[in-house]
Amino acid sequence: MRAFWKYDKFPFCLSGFITDTRPNGNVTVEGYRGCIFKPIAILPDDAGAELAEQLSRLQMEYETEVLALKKEYMKKSEMDNDSRFGCLAYGVIPKTIVDRLE
């Protein structure tokens, strides 16, 4: 059986194979020695593997989109600011302030 529990980073849940179930419904999971989780779902191996694969694909899509967005803003930053300040986030520091820094 595979457990899924809440997590604070995208896609906001993790999963793993259950090694022990507690009387209160919490579980211990393979690969997380000493940790106890409160599952939001417990699925059979096949269904759990399918959901875990979907979440993995979603994570990869998210990371690709975030990287593309970062690259887009870096290009804008390099175009709008002096090359010495190219690492500054686009639009965060007004051009007048960047000019004064020269």
Query: What average pLDDT does this structure show over 4-13?
Result: 94
Q: Strand 2-6's sheet: what is its strand order?
A: 27-29, 13-21, 2-6, 41-43
Domain ranges across the chain:
2-101
Burial of 34 (0-12, 13-18, 19+ CB in 10 A): exposed
**pTM for the structure as a whole:** 0.68
Who has greater pLDDT, 66 or 99?
A: 66
Report pLDDT digits (tens) over 64-83: 999 998 888 887 776 655 55
User: From CA 39, how far away is CA 91, in angstroms rounded?
Assistant: 42
Q: For Cα atoms 40, 3, 43, give the angle at the middle one, nearest 5 degrees.
A: 90
Altogether, the residues listed in the chain come to a count of: 102
Please give the pLDDT value at position 75. Answer: 79
